[in-house]
Amino acid sequence: MYRVFIVDDEPFIIEGLYDIIDWSAYGLEIVGSAENGQDALGALMESSADILLTDISMPIMDGLTLIREARKFRPDLKVIILSGYNEFDYIKSGLKLGVENYLLKPINIDELQETLVGTIDKLNTTRPDRLFSDYDIRILRDNILYRWLTGRIAPNELSERTDMLDIHLDAPYLVTAVLRTESQFEPSYEAAQRLAVQDSSMLPFVDIDGDLVIVFMLEDKVAGKEKAMSILENMQKRLAPSPVRISLGSVEAMGEGVPQSYAHAKKAQEYFLLLDEPAILDYELLTEKRGIENIAAQPLNWSSYSKLIKAKDLESLHAAIDADFELYQTLEGVTPAYIQSMAIEMMIRFKMELKEIKQADQPELYKAGFVQIMQAETIEGLAAVVKEAAALTVDSLMRDVKSPIIQQLLGYVHENYAQPLSLKSLSQQYNIHPVYLGHLFQKETSETFTEYINKYRIGKAKEMLKETQLKVQEIAMKVGYWETGYFYKQFKKYVGISPTDYKGLL
């Protein structure tokens, strides 16, 4: 199992990467994460990694410096850059360092998964040759066909491997089908293998997502597609009553068009989420009837969700979730991938909202939900998963209710952090002795009042530095620091660099 280390100064990105990729399915495990290059470098010295996912723009030590320093003691380290900067100088610097890919934020999950597969292939080539069992040969065959259909194998390697495995790719055209089943996978795979023995124009294999893929080699576009469709319909009948969702990609000419057919079959598979299930979804018919285009991103209004979470108003949360999912379906050009990505974003935000409120992470509450999102077959199913996350969040808050005084105090601090705040003034407001209030606050939050308010204010200052063009002195006053010098001191204490240097990195 290869080891992965993640570096990004945005906790939201790190949280998302932990959750949206099934790392173990790729033979990977995350061995650590850090929010700046310096901390990452120290961690990498203690616990070596095979793959580094890093941002470029970070406080204390940027990503490019981290890569150069890490390569001094781990020259074979594979690196994937995640960046919000689409600038030639950054890309050029990354290429000089020999990175696997330069991915722009927001991260495209499919592109990241493809990059991970390619990186794993490179790591695998460093392993010594060994004798292959039948299972090894099947895995090798699946790997070669997958790389061929995704355009990630050189012609000379493809020719060498297909000769060795007795795979024939000599037809003028092809069409690709993707079969996905909820129940046992083996019957559909074995059925495809039996047919392939009788018909050498069929090439079945299992892709990186665990889907059964069948490539049909065609001598004639029209007649060949009709034959493929007939075979798939018969397979579906034989496998009944076990539900099998089958999608068919476009017919393409052998050569550069090969990846298109597979990509279209995968894209069509997504539309089972939106449509009543026909026998087989044909990508070419889908494009004629609906058009398959991406829509402009619609920002999620999280502030209203945040208020409902803090109020523990589960009924209103559920109503808001239902309303948003109904809205997504009405957007022109909406795709299943878009709705799924919105569900993932909502799950991550529920998780992070709970972490911020409780000052403790509870990833186990949401782990199953992320898996269920990837497996959901309907819009209603996606909404149900997100509503369950809302219920878990509110339930966790209800079971961990702080004393009424501290609850009121925290709510007041979050609303009035820009105003002068002290235990003395708050103790008068809540009619409680300041020493007792300070003791109770530290007992329930594990921090002194001064530490808590400073961390909260600096967090708000970081948001303003990223999202506004205000001067540092203006931001200091807006978050409650009337002396700029003291603001600089606290910012450097909690972030590691001055606010001016932090703004320069953005």
**pLDDT on residue 278:** 59
**pLDDT on residue 237:** 84
Distance of alpha carbon 386 from the chain centroid: 16
Confidence of residue 225 (pLDDT cuts 50, 70, 90): very high
Fold of 2-124: Rossmann fold (3.40.50)
Q: What is the pLDDT of residues 235-267, one digit of tens each?
A: 888 877 777 889 999 999 998 889 999 999 998
Q: What is the DSSP string of 288-349?
A: HHT---PPPP----HHHHHHHHHTT-HHHHHHHHHHHHHHHHHSTT--HHHHHHHHHHHHHH
Q: Are 178 and 161 in contact (CB under 8 A)?
A: no
**pLDDT on residue 318:** 93
**Tokens coding 89:** 């100088």
Claim: this prediction has a pTM higher than 0.75? no
Task: Please state the domain extents for the chain.
Answer: 2-124, 134-289, 302-398, 404-505
Q: Is 281 helix (H, G, I), strand (E, B) or coil?
A: strand
131 pLDDT higher than 50? no
Greater confidence (199 vs 128) lies with: 199
Greater confidence (87 vs 417) lies with: 417
Q: What is the pLDDT of residues 416-461, one digit of tens each?
A: 999 999 888 888 888 888 888 888 888 887 789 999 999 999 989 9
Q: DSSP alpha helices (H): ranges in 199-257?
A: 221-239
Confidence of residue 182 (pLDDT cuts 50, 70, 90): low
**pLDDT on residue 126:** 60
375 pLDDT higher than 80? no
**Tokens coding 494:** 């909690």
82 pLDDT higher than 80? yes
281 pLDDT higher than 80? yes
In this prediction, what percent of the chain has a pLDDT beyond 70? 88
**pLDDT on residue 389:** 92
Instruction: Answer whether 2-124 and 134-289 agree in fold.
Output: no
Q: What is the mean pLDDT of residues 364-374?
A: 81
**pLDDT on residue 295:** 46
184 pLDDT higher than 60? no
78 pLDDT higher than 90? yes
For domain 134-289, the CATH architecture is: 2-Layer Sandwich (3.30)
Distance of alpha carbon 159 from the chain centroid: 34
336 pLDDT higher than 80? no
Fold of 404-505: Arc Repressor Mutant, subunit A (1.10.10)
**pLDDT on residue 298:** 58
- Please give the mean pLDDT across all residues of the chain: 84
Q: What is the mean pLDDT of residues 48-70?
A: 90
Q: Is 430 helix (H, G, I), strand (E, B) or coil?
A: coil
Q: What is the DSSP string of 440-497?
A: HHHHHHSS-HHHHHHHHHHHHHHHHHHH----HHHHHHHTT-S-HHHHHHHHHHHHSS
Of 116-120, 146-150, 326-330, the one with minimum mean pLDDT is 326-330
Q: What is the pLDDT of residues 10-31, one digit of tens each?
A: 888 888 888 888 888 788 889 8
- Alpha carbon distance 136, 153 (integer Å): 19
Q: What is the mean pLDDT of residues 292-321?
A: 78
Which range of 87-101, 264-278, 321-335, 441-455 scores highest in mean pLDDT? It is 441-455
Confidence of residue 130 (pLDDT cuts 50, 70, 90): very low
Enumerate residues 6+ apart whose C-beta is below 8 A from 259: 149, 150, 151
